Structure 1
Amino acid sequence: MAGPLLDVAGLTVSARNRVLVQDFGLSLARGERVGLIGESGSGKSMTAAALMGLLPEGVAAAGSVRLDGTAHDLIGASDRQMSRLRGKRLGMVFQEPLSALNPLMKVGRQVAEALTRHGGVPGRAAAQRSVELLASVQLPDPAQAAQAYPHQLSGGQRQRVLLAMALANDPDLLICDEPTTALDVSVQRQMLALISDGVARRGSGLLFITHDLAVAASICDRILVLRGGVLVEQGPTDEVFSRPQHPYTRGLLAASDLDATDSNGRLFTVASAAGYVPAGVPAGVPAATAAAPSVTVREPEQGVPDEASAEPLIRVRNLSRTFRRGRTSLFRPPAEVHALQDVSFDVTPGQRFGVVGESGSGKSTLLRILAGLDLPTSGSVVVAGNEVAGSREGQLRQLRSQLQIVFQDPMGSLNPRMRVGEIIAEPLLLPGTPVAARHHGARVAEMLDAVGLPREAAHRYPHQFSGGQRQRIAIARALICEPRILVADEPVSALDVSVRAQILNLLSDLVDKYQLTLVFVSHDLGVVRHLCDTVAVMHRGRIVETGPTGQVYAEPRHEYTKTLVASSLSLHEGERIRAGAASHPASF
């Protein structure tokens, strides 16, 4: 009987006196699809880097990594030995394509270089084959795409280029490190289908690294769970996701399941997952496998009861925003980009209004106008009684005291040179008012309590906190001036599933406690379904559908909405997709 394609034993990755991965083991057969899951810092990417011989300087690996048909151990192999394997027998798709692609080289040439350097394909044949490979990953107009530079392609298109390069020489093993994390739902679904089809056609083994359990459920036959660099559980996907043996695995599953809430209507977290029973667990399972308390499946609310009679807090009518690009020719006018086109909607007090749509749909432009950070080309926007168009700076300050934003990347919105207490108090320091932040210490302490951070956090700097903690700081800063409206722009898209559940619970609690009106923007339909009572679907600068969240998701009318809903992955949907793909490999 043939041995495994990849055999890893006792893999330990260390940096100075710190162990990042400890005694990791894996046996992966040809054609097998293994998922490596865990939160940020669990050691997933370091494991992949060790397998590829790409560990950063100062980080060392010990143990054994054997690739079938290779005489030497990959641990301790020279750069020359590893370069012979990379691209030919080992392919890798990285999370961030802009970091992995050469910005000064056209993408067709980069794919061709993978063929010539690792596959020995001559130049002209490699150029022709590169176009075929770009076509195989469904890039529109592959011949034209081959002549483009990376920055001229979208994120999803760049990720397809990386996949084409990784599969160029029919590798025996494909390693994918979070390849769909930053992609919109429909592009994510397409990428997963391309990866699944690519390894199936070549009979390659797949090691798929992700923190998204729904993605892992849709593509992997077997699951390995890493926590703090230690492998805590492994087994067939169905078994691990329906009968988790380790409490941490149960916690990840519970936090990933946005359809399940506890008896108080709150999402489960890793800490509160004892009462979570995974879907599909039969009655009578042992208590050690599934705890007794039942799970309440949250039904989306059908709107605020009195919203029909309430005066809108946000009133948008015929809003348009057009941007003009730089002139590229003396004989042609500058190109125009219609970011928003004839957008109209109302948000009533107390409403939880969700806005969904893919990148480029106009969501962020809409939020900037609502906050007075940008002005419309035409149309009317009235927020808390303030007309945005034509407002002076003093009027906009009044608007911003009524509306505050929580951004997607807290590290980008928090001043790294200011202490947390100063950051949170900053909205209270009105221009021309010589009052130092320290005089607002009591109010800062109150907001730290509200977002679940210790009061001593006020004396520390943003870099000393995790991503989830920084997002809590951003929320505290937004709420300190007691706004009526809280706008959240993709606030959980970059967070691990357990931290995501904590932040969503926190937002829900704070909206109720402070009687806020919430405008929540996301490309994750599951998050919006859990949190919002009303949803607006944006596509190419227009709102194509709006209504109660449950109704829009259950009975979408517009074709684009139907596509979004069909593309959205939940944990249970991922399992169903994988089961269907196993029966019909050609269709994902």
Structure 2
Amino acid sequence: MSELTANLLTVRDLNVKFGAFTLVHNVSFAMARGERIGLIGESGSGKSLTTTALMGLLPEGLSASGSVHLDGHRENFIGAPDAAMRKIRGRDMTMVFQEPLTALNPLMRVGAQVAEIMSVHKTAASRREAGAKAIAMLASVKLPDPAEAARAYPHQLSGGQRQRVMLAMALANDPALLLCDEPTTALDVTVQRQVLDLVLESVTERGTGLLFITHDLAVVANMCTRVLVMNNGTVVEEGRTEDIFSRPQHAYTRGLLAASDMEATDNDGRLFTVTSAVGYEPLTPAALAARAVAKESAAARAGARLPVADAGTELQAPVIAVTGLTRTYLRDRATLFAKAPEVHALKDVTFVVRPGERLGVVGESGSGKSTLLRILAGLDRPSSGSAVVAGNEVAGATERSLVQLRQQLQIVFQDPMGSLNPRMRVLEIITEPLLVPGRTETATQRRAMAVAMLDAVGLGPETLDRYPHQFSGGQRQRISIARALICRPRVLVADEPVSALDVSVRAQVLNLLADLVDEYQLTLVFVSHDLAVVRHLCDKVVVMRDGEIVEAGDTESIYQNPQHPYTQKLVASSMNLRAEVLGKELLASQSE
């Protein structure tokens, strides 16, 4: 691409306020045509407010000042009439949102929605031409059978297909600037990789400027040429991606990198957080090489000790023994006389988990992970086969035996706000598992146990009388963990417990889980689509696809040398911060 002198986007002294409170402080940056900028930071850093201010879409009650200019337009977008902004949004600057199902009109076919954006901005001569161009756009984002996809409604498409439709809409009028706000957060790893590759290919071919908002630093390292780091509404650092990620100058940037690097640990084997990142070495090729040598040495030392430990573990009776587990559902009939189709959620699943083991269960949406968890917890019954958990057979179990099972197995769910009763105080939430037949604790004893559990998860007794909405996401997840462990179960099942958390909070919660699993001698079943998290936390892993276990074994063996094509695809699709940064470094050194 030739050297470009004119800036595509110029932002000067952008402030966003809520009454007297300033939420975004003096944000200034410029973007050249075709440049790809990553805007990174944790929740509350001001990323989304900045981008909605650029688009003139701030919610009611918020006000903006400063200037935002797009090449080819004289007016300042800050304070511009909505009628003027409507002519610009969707044509010269467009946005791809995080959740396409809420951004797409559920009552319109997707082809009509792509065509509409061309008709509104009069970039197609007629409705027929807009319809034809819509199908061409759906084909350009690599939707299979674009003509058929154009006739579908949003709910009839998968998440990845809906995000492709959003991208087709965003690029339909060949905009100069594309904004992406966490567009792949809710997608499986293989679909995420496909969508990111598609976005990168599309903007590169068109010379479109890209502002990519995300908390995933590996994605930014892969996608972007420049980075802006936001914290508390302020841009604390900016520069070339390879410079920021390899030689961060600001302490917060260093903390974000440390917390995002799942392969880096401190001297105690704990993940770094934003506040504990002083000892973190940035991701330079020399540092990575030194770490690789240290890791091999540590693995060799650990390997010398493993046979004795493994031998002891193998002699112990399994805490979980699953044999030939099958679960079949009947889907609703399409017509009155049609036969109800069968859905095979689990197919002949067999595995064991021994005391103290940390088992990771990985797989994409529809792989059967959630069905397996429901059966282990006694929330569903298998169609055939056996699942014995802590001595309790789930198949055909009575309600009394299920009560005993649930005292031995507890679950930490993905969304703590959804799993915590908003009308109950923390004391009631944490002690609820104790209110079952057979337990004899008094109210005073239950309160003392709750205080002890809160201390174990890093919260004080003053939190007992508060409600869930008065806590941050990470604090709510700590409350969930305290509730799960108060009855001292033998098995802890964690279902995507950190997927909704910021990177630093994720590191804190993972450190906490690891500590508590060791302290309480728990057996852990950890379900996640994030392979890096499973690799850090678990010593064994099973890989599920379409209701079957396609591969199982020691975690490092599976990750270093996957045998099944699906496992190979999962590992290859996972974004690794170290690999992405090292790739940038090598490219930069070759170009100098």
TM-score normalised by length of structure 1: 0.94
Matches within 5 A, 1:113-132: 113-121=116-124, 122-132=126-136
2:265 corresponds to which letter in structure 1? T
Q: Percent identity?
A: 63
Mapped pair 1:97 → 2:100: yes
1:139 maps to which of 139, 143, 162: 143
Q: Do the aligned partners of 1:422 and 1:438 also contact (CA within 8 Å) in 2?
A: no
Which residue does the alignment assign to 1:174?
Answer: 178
Which residue does the alignment assign to 2:278?
Answer: 274
Distance in 2, Cα, partners of 1:563 & 1:282:
29
Residue 272 of structure 1 aligns to a residue in which SS? helix
Residue 5 of structure 1 aligns to a residue in which SS? strand
Which residue does the alignment assign to 2:535?
Answer: 529
Distance in 2, Cα, partners of 1:409 & 1:525:
19
Distance in 1, Cα, partners of 2:586 & 2:207:
19
Distance in 2, Cα, partners of 1:180 & 1:240:
23
CA apart distance, 1:439 = 4.8
1:28 maps to which of 20, 26, 31: 31
Which residue does the alignment assign to 2:19?
Answer: 16
CA apart distance, 1:155 = 1.4
Distance in 1, Cα, partners of 2:173 & 2:583:
28
Q: Do the aligned partners of 1:185 and 1:568 also contact (CA within 8 Å) in 2?
A: yes
1:151 maps to which of 149, 155, 158: 155
Residue 488 of structure 1 aligns to a residue in which SS? strand
Which residue does the alignment assign to 2:460?
Answer: 454
Q: Do the aligned partners of 2:492 and 2:525 also contact (CA within 8 Å) in 1?
A: yes
Q: Do the aligned partners of 1:425 and 1:437 also contact (CA within 8 Å) in 2?
A: no
Distance in 2, Cα, partners of 1:132 & 1:404:
50
Distance in 2, Cα, partners of 1:482 & 1:384:
13
Alignment deviations for residues 448-497 of structure 1 (CA, whole Å, 9 cap, x no partner): 00000111111100000010100000000000000000000000011110
Residue 355 of structure 2 aligns to a residue in which SS? coil
Which residue does the alignment assign to 1:204?
Answer: 208
Alignment deviations for residues 411-446 of structure 1 (CA, whole Å, 9 cap, x no partner): 010000000111000000115979775651100000
The more displaced of 42-51 and 305-314 is 305-314
1:379 maps to which of 385, 390, 402: 385
1:165 maps to which of 144, 166, 169: 169
1:61 maps to which of 64, 82, 95: 64
Which residue does the alignment assign to 2:267?
Answer: 263
CA apart distance, 1:94 = 0.5
Q: Any stretches of 5+ residues in structure 2 without a counterpart?
A: 288-292
Which residue does the alignment assign to 1:225?
Answer: 229
1:483 maps to which of 489, 497, 506: 489
Distance 1:103 1:436, change over 3 A: farther
CA apart distance, 1:345 = 0.4
Residue 442 of structure 1 aligns to a residue in which SS? helix
Alignment deviations for residues 168-224 of structure 1 (CA, whole Å, 9 cap, x no partner): 111000000011111111111111101101101110100000011111111010010
Distance 1:201 1:389, change over 3 A: same
The more displaced of 274-283 and 347-356 is 274-283
CA apart distance, 1:575 = 2.8
1:354 maps to which of 360, 363, 367: 360
1:323 maps to which of 326, 329, 336: 329
Distance 1:147 1:409, change over 3 A: same
Q: Any stretches of 5+ residues in structure 1 without a counterpart?
A: 284-293
1:395 maps to which of 395, 398, 401: 401
Matches within 5 A, 1:463-474: 463-474=469-480
The more displaced of 133-142 and 185-194 is 133-142
Q: Please, what is the CA RMSD of the aligned residues?
A: 2.1
Distance in 2, Cα, partners of 1:90 & 1:268:
38
Distance in 1, Cα, partners of 2:177 & 2:313:
56
Distance in 2, Cα, partners of 1:148 & 1:553:
38
Distance 1:580 1:123, change over 3 A: farther
Q: Do the aligned partners of 2:242 and 2:584 also contact (CA within 8 Å) in 1?
A: no
Residue 314 of structure 2 aligns to a residue in which SS? coil
Q: Do the aligned partners of 1:315 and 1:347 also contact (CA within 8 Å) in 2?
A: yes
1:384 corresponds to which letter in structure 2? A
Residue 385 of structure 2 aligns to a residue in which SS? strand
Distance 1:536 1:492, change over 3 A: same
Which residue does the alignment assign to 1:511?
Answer: 517
CA apart distance, 1:583 = 12
Runs of 4+ in 1 over 3 A off after TM superposition: 294-304, 431-439, 576-584
Distance 1:119 1:564, change over 3 A: farther
Q: Do the aligned partners of 1:242 and 1:278 also contact (CA within 8 Å) in 2?
A: yes
CA apart distance, 1:114 = 1.2
Residue 245 of structure 1 aligns to a residue in which SS? coil
1:189 corresponds to which letter in structure 2? R
Distance in 2, Cα, partners of 1:266 & 1:434:
37
Mapped pair 1:549 → 2:552: no
2:248 corresponds to which letter in structure 1? P
The more displaced of 533-542 and 304-313 is 304-313
Distance 1:437 1:193, change over 3 A: farther
Distance in 2, Cα, partners of 1:577 & 1:116:
42
Alignment deviations for residues 265-301 of structure 1 (CA, whole Å, 9 cap, x no partner): 0000111100000121658xxxxxxxxxx99797597
Which residue does the alignment assign to 1:52?
Answer: 55
1:191 corresponds to which letter in structure 2? V
How many pairs does the alignment contain? 574
Distance in 1, Cα, partners of 2:129 & 2:507:
51
Distance in 2, Cα, partners of 1:582 & 1:296:
26
1:362 corresponds to which letter in structure 2? G
TM-score normalised by length of structure 2: 0.94
2:201 corresponds to which letter in structure 1? D
Which residue does the alignment assign to 2:318?
Answer: 312
Distance 1:486 1:30, change over 3 A: same
Q: Do the aligned partners of 2:97 and 2:182 also contact (CA within 8 Å) in 1?
A: yes
Alignment deviations for residues 387-422 of structure 1 (CA, whole Å, 9 cap, x no partner): 001001110000000000000000010000000111
Mapped pair 1:3 → 2:9: no
2:455 corresponds to which letter in structure 1? D
1:196 corresponds to which letter in structure 2? L
Which residue does the alignment assign to 2:290?
Answer: none
Q: Do the aligned partners of 1:224 and 1:233 also contact (CA within 8 Å) in 2?
A: yes
Distance in 1, Cα, partners of 2:52 & 2:543:
39
The more displaced of 560-569 and 423-432 is 423-432
Alignment deviations for residues 517-573 of structure 1 (CA, whole Å, 9 cap, x no partner): 000000000000000000000011100000000001111000000000000111122
Residue 448 of structure 2 aligns to a residue in which SS? helix
Distance in 1, Cα, partners of 2:586 & 2:383:
48
The more displaced of 27-36 and 133-142 is 133-142
Distance 1:436 1:106, change over 3 A: farther
Q: Which has the higher helix share?
A: 2
2:477 corresponds to which letter in structure 1? Q
